[in-house]
């Protein structure tokens, strides 16, 4: 069993956890967690994994007292499915950017597959939040993708004014998504979602610009960062659902 240094605690990773969310729970930082756990892969935490923490608070979150309990199959399945949806989101986004930037003949097919992603999220949320709420998220998330496409088209055409207008709409849409999610789940923080989505937009824009300017190797590094952060968003989504619907998970 892992032995943590004096003054620290052993924490068992719970469903929906990520390095970012654990840091928020314990009023610490991701850098401090990584320093206390050399060799840990922040993008691939697994449920039940034990890590060392030096919390800056005496108020431990509920999961720490439940660490010895079994994790249900429903929680694992939910976590895996939501992670898959976010992986598909960023993968098909990258493929769509590539097709748009280089004028590939599959651009319409790839774009249509990307636009299936919001509908898949809608199907996930509908049994939990109802048809109206799920449909609203689908509309907001679809707009997120459509605006991104407009931004790439404007950037490729060298239309800086159109690109600037699209980017403003993109961030406004992200704020709307964050506000909406916080309105349907008390365990989803509007500010946390806004921060995560803004980071997602910034990195996705960097990825597109790097492709447009021929910095292909850099775009791969950026994609790796996007993937790690997308999994954090997936885990934050799972964590909120598990807490809100604890009787089902």
Higher pLDDT, 11 or 248: 11
Q: Per residue in 8-63, pLDDT tens?
A: 788 888 767 788 888 877 888 888 888 888 888 887 777 778 888 876 654 554 44
Q: Per residue in 178-191, pLDDT tens?
A: 999 999 999 999 99
61 and 86 in one domain? no
Q: Would you say the pTM of this structure is higher than 0.95?
A: no
116 is a domain residue: yes
78 and 110 in one domain? yes
98 and 149 in one domain? yes
Answer whether 81's CB lies under 8 Å from 120's CB: no
3 is a domain residue: no
194 and 98 in one domain? yes
pLDDT of residue 69: 45
170 and 120 in one domain? yes
Alpha-carbon torsion 12, 15, 21, 24, what sign?
Answer: negative
Q: Which of 125, 118, 45 is nearest to 88 (CA)?
A: 118
220 and 102 in one domain? yes
142 and 121 in one domain? yes
pLDDT of residue 65: 38
Alpha-carbon torsion 63, 64, 65, 66, what sign?
Answer: positive
pLDDT of residue 199: 96
2 is a domain residue: no
56 is a domain residue: yes
Answer whether 170's CB lies under 8 Å from 149's CB: no
Q: Which of 35, 74, 32 is nearest to 55 (CA)?
A: 32
Higher pLDDT, 16 or 246: 246
User: How many domains is the chain partitioned into structurally?
Assistant: 2
Q: Where are the alpha helices (DSSP H) in the chain?
A: 19-25, 30-36, 62-65, 73-102, 107-129, 131-157, 160-184, 190-212, 216-244
90 and 48 in one domain? no
* Residues 27, 76, 10: CA angle, nearest 5 degrees: 35
Query: What single-letter DSSP state applies at residue 246?
Result: T
pLDDT of residue 136: 98
Answer whether 182's CB lies under 8 Å from 193's CB: yes
Report the percent of the chain where pLDDT is more than 90. 65
94 and 53 in one domain? no
Range of the domain at 27: 9-65
Q: Which residue has the tokens 């406004």?
A: 172
pLDDT of residue 3: 67
pLDDT of residue 96: 98
Per-residue confidence band for 70, with pLDDT thresholds at 50, 70 and 90: low
Q: Inform me whether the pLDDT recorded for 117 exceeds 70.
A: yes
CATH number where 17 lies: 3.10.350.10
Answer whether 215's CB lies under 8 Å from 162's CB: no
165: its two tokens: 């207008």
Higher pLDDT, 26 or 165: 165
């Amino acid at each position: 069993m892992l032995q943590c240094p004096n003054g620290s605690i052993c924490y068992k990773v719970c469903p929906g956890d990520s390095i970012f969310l654990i840091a928020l729970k314990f009023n610490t930082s991701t850098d401090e967690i990584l320093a206390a756990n050399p060799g840990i892969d922040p993008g691939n935490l697994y449920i039940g994994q034990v890590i060392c923490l030096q919390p800056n608070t005496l108020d431990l979150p509920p999961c720490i007292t439940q660490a010895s309990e079994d994790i249900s199959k429903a929680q694992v399945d939910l976590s895996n499915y939501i992670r898959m949806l976010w992986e598909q989101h960023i993968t098909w986004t990258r493929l769509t950017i590539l097709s748009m930037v280089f004028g590939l003949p599959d651009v319409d097919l790839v774009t249509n597959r990307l636009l299936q992603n919001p509908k898949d999220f809608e199907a996930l949320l509908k049994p939990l939040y109802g048809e109206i709420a799920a449909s609203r998220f689908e509309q907001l998330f679809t707009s997120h993708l459509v605006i991104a496409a407009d931004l790439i088209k404007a950037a490729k055409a060298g239309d800086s004014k159109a690109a600037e207008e699209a980017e403003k709409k993109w961030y406004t849409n992200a704020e709307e998504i964050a506000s909406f999610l916080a309105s349907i789940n008390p365990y989803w923080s509007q500010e946390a979602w806004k921060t995560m989505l803004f980071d997602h937009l910034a990195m996705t824009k960097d990825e597109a610009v790097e492709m447009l300017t021929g910095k292909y190797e850099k775009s791969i590094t950026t994609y790796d960062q996007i993937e790690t952060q997308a999994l954090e968003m997936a885990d934050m989504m799972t964590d909120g659902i598990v807490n809100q619907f604890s009787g089902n998970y």
